[in-house]
Amino acid sequence: MPRPQLSPGVEIVTVDGHPPAVRTPDGEFLRLNASPRATAGLLELLGHATAAKSSGSDQTQPSDTREVERLLGAFTEAGYLDASPSWPPDRADVLVLGDERLTSPLIELLSSAGARPRPATPPDVAILADARSSDVAAVVWCLDRPAPPGLWKDADRLPARGIAWARCHREGWHAWIEPIAAAPGDVLAAHVAARRLAATPAHRELAAYWAGTAATGPHPVTGAAAAATIAALVTTDLAAWSQGRASRGNGLPARRRLRRLDLRDLRVTEHCVLPVPLVAPTTVRRA
């Protein structure tokens, strides 16, 4: 049986003259209500041999005691005892497209998280959108510039086939990280563009900006820290999707959350975005 592990962000702190305490991921300290021998057994079982010795118990293998089992059960129920989830193999194949300044750290982070990312091209996405079957589980496309109209049209067809679709792009000092679309009814890139155009009186200017009519300077905007932050946010979203868990946010579900990252101070703001429903065609009557 594998050794139990503390969940990410959970720690056990030993205090001289007092029972050890659990520090939760949110920073709360909870004292362990157990005998010193049971506490020593728990710490030893978790691989904290030094902490176990500091508890004053000479017993090194008390894992079969009822009290240790009670502690393990309480930790599991509270979500404090759980190994870091791995990336499911059936969702590990990820195609990565975009600008190297963003795709390079993204591929590195996805690989370290357990995914199998590989570079792709826009024609690869078009073929994937028409293919009857594929081992590809997700496509992520990140641009260090505005997304021109029509670029993501083929990729928007992927969720209908059960392939997750993640994307981000930069506009000036702002990087936009759109919600992952993984099933019919999720927010597509076309939906985000339509919502943003409808929300601004400068919709003509914004559309022209996306089309690439703006004059820009020669200096890159996205530095290494900003690129790493964008890659980390996208990787976190994809990892949460692969494991079927909800990404945490300001009360917004991940599939309805549009995030804007200010590259000057790396501040993230979240905005709710909804799909754009299909509109019935207008019937033209002739006299």
What pLDDT is recorded for position 15? 84
What pLDDT does residue 1 have? Answer: 46
**Domains of the chain from N-terminus onward:** 11-78 (no CATH), 89-272 (3.40.50.720)
**SS3 sequence of 51-112:** HHHCCCCCCCCCCCCHHHHHHHHHHHHHCCECCCCCCCHHHCEEEEEECHHHHHHHHHHHHH
Nearest-angstrom CA–CA distance, 197 and 193: 6
pLDDT of the residue at 64: 44
Q: What is the dihedral of CA 90, 77, 70, 6, to 10 degrees?
A: 60
- The CA–CA distances, whole Å, from 262 to 188, 226, 230, 256, 273 equal 22, 9, 10, 20, 19
Q: What is the mean pLDDT of each run of 10 residues along the chain (287 residues)?
A: 77 87 91 84 75 46 67 86 79 97 97 96 96 93 95 97 96 96 95 95 94 74 95 95 74 89 96 85 54
Cα 159 from Cα 143, distance rounded (Å): 20
What pLDDT does 57 receive? 45
Question: pTM of the entire structure?
Answer: 0.77
Query: What's residue 172's pLDDT?
Result: 94
Backbone angles phi, psi at 158, to 5 degrees: -65, -45
